Structures are given as C-alpha cells and as structure tokens.
Amino acid sequence: MELKVQTGDITTWKGDGIVVNLFEGAMSPDGGAGAVDKKLRGVLTQMIKKGEINGKLGSATVVHTFDRLPADRVCVVGLGKQGEFTLDRARQAAANGVKALRNAGAKKVATVVHGAGGLGNLDPESAAQANAEGIILGLWQFRKYFTDNNDVKQIEQVVMLERDATKLKVMKAGAERGEILANATNLARDLTNEPGNAMTPTRLADVAKRVAKEAGLEFEVLDRDRAKKLGMGAFLGVAQGSDEPPCIIVLRYLGGGKKSAPGVGLIGKAITFDSGGISLKPAADMQDMKGDMAGGAAVIAAMQAIGHLKPTLNVTGIVPATENLPSGKAYKPGDILKAMNGKTIEIISTDAEGRLILADALVYATKTLKLSPVVDAATLTGAMTIALGHLRTGLFSPDKELTNLLFRLGEETGEKNWPMPMDPEYAENIKSDWADIKNSGGRPGGSIIGAMFLKNFVGETPWAHLDIAGSSDNPKATSGYQNKFGNGTPTRTFVNLALALAAKK
C-alpha cells in the first residue's frame, strides 16, 4: 500500500473514497466535513440530525456522493468528544476511515489529517505521524496461509491531504516516521501470528539477520555451545526439552558510536511455542501459545525501526529464543538450575519458563554488555490479564524516572502501561528451601512475583519489566488500529524510548 502526503482540497480529489471527521455532539459538520457537506447539498447535516452520523469514537459512516463530488464515496469518522481528543484518537480515526472504505471496495482513498488543524493541542507533525500509523496498522491483514485471496479487499493508495502548503514539510516528516513505526509493528504482528512450526528459534534468527542487513544493524547469535560457555543454565534448562536448537539473538545499533556508552538494552522473551513443558498446559487455547514470543518479536521489530530512524545513541536488542516442550530430556519440577550470575533456581513449574530465559538474558545485558537502562517485554503471566485485562501492560520497575517515562510513552503510542507495585515483601514468595530462589510463588500476586524474580538478575542497573501477557492481544478488538491477536505491543514504545533517551543526550 502506498501512502502519500500532499497539499490539496478534499472536495476536489478524484478517487474511490474520501475521509472526513466529526466530533461527538456536533450538530453540523465543519472544516473538511463542512466543505463536503456543502457539495452534497446538506446530506451530512441531515444524517446528523437523524442520528445516522453521531461522531462517536469508533463510528464510520460511508455515504455515496452520486457524482456531486469527484470521489465516489465519503466516510465520516467519529472523533469522540472534543475535550477528549488525543493523538491516539487521531490514530484510531485514521484507521477506522480507511478500513470502512476498504470494506466498501475502495482502492484509492484520500483523507483529511485528523488533528492537524490544532485540535487537542496536536501539532501538524505529530498528527501526521499518528494518522500514518493508524492507516498502516488499521489496514494490516495476516492471510499468508489462506489459499484463496481473490476476494480479499485491499486499498492500494492512501493520500493524506492538507490545504495549508506551509505545513507540508513537517507533515511529510511525521508521516514518514509514522510509516516506519507502523511497518515495524506490523512485522512484529507477522512474526507473532506465524505458527510454531514455521517460526522456530532458528527461523526467528533468520528474520533478525535479514532485518539487521536492511536496517544497518550488527547481528550475532549465541548458540547452545556459546550459552553453555557463558553459564546460561536457566535458559538452557528450558531449551533442553526441544529438538529445535535454541539461540540468543543479539542486534546492535551503534548510533552513538563504538566509543560511547554501551547504551540501551531491549530484551524480549521468545518462546516460539509454549506447551508448558512437563507442567503441561490444558489443551484449550494452547494453539495461542505460538504467540509466547511476542516480546521477542517486538524487540526485533523495534530494532528495525531504530535502524531506520537513527537516534544518536547505542541500542542493543537481545532475544532469548527456544521452545518449551515435554520430552524425555525436558527439565522437571524439582530440578535446580544455575543462572549466569550464579543464582540457583528451584523449579516449581516448568510453565514458569519465561522468567528463566529472561534471567540469563538480563545478566548478559547488564553484567556482560553493561547496557543501561534495560527494559524487557514478555508474555510472562496469565495473572497479568486477570489484573489489567487486555487494555494495559503491567509496568514493573524500581526506577521512578524510567517508570514515568514509559508511562508517558505508553499514553502517546496507545500501547498503554500501568505501574505495578514491587514491595520487597513480595520476594518472600520465591524463597526456596533447596536453592537461592524458586521460579514460582503461587497464584496470588503472580505478576508481581514474576517481576520480583527477574529483579534478581539486573543488579543496580535501571530496569523495567513490561508484562504484555494481556496487552499483546485483545479478543474484543473490533475497531481502530488494533487486531485481536499478536498486536505488536510494545514495538512503538521501545522505539520511542530510544528516541526519547537520545533526545536527552
């Protein structure tokens, strides 16, 4: 799909469809919608009065123009209440408009840039970025394994139109950045939605290698032998039940130069299929455990975008990748593993494997590579979904500055984070009678206990843990740019973190 930013008048654009907007509660259209309404001889105003167009967030009404405009159809998207308009609502509106026109059969579409006129204190560049993200994310589809795609509707071109030519330069820059971020998020979606037989650790490393080549990154893989030499007993313990070779994928972006500080560390859990191991999961919905590598997918995708956006600092992405399967070789409840920092871990549940592979990755990031700050993302605990549902990611960090930054970035990207407690008393739950710690502390406060486990492997390094078990998918996602499974969270948060930290330098 081609995305363009041009100066022009929405009422004179010729194509299959145009998108304008309306705030909830408005009794008559203004701006681009008002100009379109005038050409349609008040049709939109009549529909508003009859309640057929209401401006509510998520609404998208398609109307035929019957040759009163050069475009065949007009879609009026709802922006919600004017006082509640944000970047993310601009993102949602952009997605809803193009999706509605795609469903109507449109191939070439033009849209006003929602929020570019200063609504909600949005500047034109940020508004253009949010619109571009919404368009590309909203049009994403994963149909790789369907054999018949002949009747699948697709948009070929979207033109973002702005009447004020003085805004064009900054809006093009914003849209270009939005396109990079959205394409990266869609890569993470593609990877997460791949089945486990197609997206093994080796194949995930192949994708990372291709990303590195295209984005100008350094690429390295730590194989089983290298991990053994490094003392990564926790990671290798999880991997021993599978015939698929495990690996730790390392991507480096050296935007600050080789002689500067090691830079930021992004770590993503990549269990390419999680059966639970010996502590076997119930059969119901186990097919979704192909998505237990969503954190790793987000890291690879974020590194792609970082390579293209070129912030002036160093960033390293680390993705521990393996399957978690039961076999005669698999690790067992009661086993004791030794992590890279020497900590011994009693295994209570082999289904609490994500924290084990992250443990060695965190030690490697903080102790060996000296990265700082370090942020990890993982579909770590089912308890996170119970606590926050699918809307927000659980944010765990002892570092207040990093917590505040990640919270703000989440609000801006729509990948919303929520700070969770890390009282030291929670660590009592992972004390072991047989080793330094154990890998599970029971159901109550399960997400907090998982984060407390990880804290053992970061030392004094500023660190945050993002539990995306609920937020990486949303079964009720029916509108906007979200999709129901493997939505790419927190790719854009990772990228914006790198950009924000680079801006501080």
| Cα 358 to Cα 463: distance, rounded to the nearest angstrom | 13
pLDDT over 80 (residue 165): yes
For the stretch 7-33, pLDDT in tens is 999 999 999 999 999 999 999 999 999
For the stretch 192-217, pLDDT in tens is 999 999 999 999 999 999 999 999 99
pLDDT over 90 (residue 258): no
Same domain? For 156 and 206 the reply is: no
* Residue 249 belongs to some domain of the structure: yes
Same domain? For 84 and 141 the reply is: yes
* Residue 188 belongs to some domain of the structure: no
For the stretch 295-322, pLDDT in tens is 999 999 999 999 999 999 999 999 999 9
Average pLDDT value over all residues in the chain:
97
pLDDT of residue 149: 86
Number of domains in the chain: 2
Residue among 149, 142, 61, 151 nearest 483 (CA): 142
* Residue 187 belongs to some domain of the structure: no
**What is the span of the domain harbouring residue 158?**
2-182
pLDDT of residue 391: 95
pLDDT over 80 (residue 166): yes
Same domain? For 68 and 147 the reply is: yes
Q: Write out the two tokens for 380.
A: 């770590």
Residue 70: CATH number of its domain: 3.40.220.10
* Residue 380 belongs to some domain of the structure: yes
pLDDT over 80 (residue 505): no
Q: Which of 161, 182, 203 is the last residue of a domain?
A: 182
Same domain? For 43 and 17 the reply is: yes
* Residue 229 belongs to some domain of the structure: yes
- CA 453 to chain CA centroid, Å, is 24
Residue among 458, 453, 447 nearest 394 (CA): 447
Q: Is the CB of residue 235 less than 8 Å from the CB of residue 350?
A: no
pLDDT of residue 121: 75
Q: Write out the two tokens for 460.
A: 């004094």
Q: Which of 130, 153, 182 is the last residue of a domain?
A: 182
pLDDT of residue 477: 85
pLDDT of residue 117: 81
pLDDT of residue 267: 99
Q: How would residue 486 be classed by pLDDT, with cut points 50, 70 and 90? A: very high
Same domain? For 96 and 177 the reply is: yes
Q: Which of 124, 158, 182 is the last residue of a domain?
A: 182
Residue 209 known to be catalytic: no
Same domain? For 101 and 147 the reply is: yes
pLDDT of residue 71: 98
- What mean pLDDT do residues 60-73 have? 97
478: amino acid identity, one letter:
T
Q: In the chain, pLDDT over 70 holds for what percent of residues?
A: 100
Same domain? For 257 and 297 the reply is: yes
For the stretch 114-134, pLDDT in tens is 999 877 778 999 999 999 999
Q: In the chain, pLDDT over 90 holds for what percent of residues?
A: 95
Output the pTM of the full model: 0.97
* Residue 212 belongs to some domain of the structure: yes
Same domain? For 175 and 245 the reply is: no
Residue 258: CATH number of its domain: 3.40.630.10
* Residue 466 belongs to some domain of the structure: yes
pLDDT of residue 246: 98
- What mean pLDDT do residues 232-247 have? 98
pLDDT over 80 (residue 462): yes
For the stretch 351-394, pLDDT in tens is 999 999 999 999 999 999 999 999 999 999 999 999 999 999 99
* CA dihedral sign of residues 401, 404, 408, 410: positive
* Residue 31 belongs to some domain of the structure: yes
The vertex-209 CA angle with 205 and 213, nearest 5°, equals 170
Same domain? For 177 and 206 the reply is: no
* Residue of 355, 392, 455, 492 marked catalytic: 355
Q: How would residue 135 be classed by pLDDT, with cut points 50, 70 and 90? A: very high
Residue 4 known to be catalytic: no
Same domain? For 112 and 201 the reply is: no
pLDDT over 90 (residue 4): yes
Q: How would residue 259 be classed by pLDDT, with cut points 50, 70 and 90? A: confident
pLDDT over 80 (residue 402): yes
Same domain? For 373 and 479 the reply is: yes
Same domain? For 370 and 473 the reply is: yes
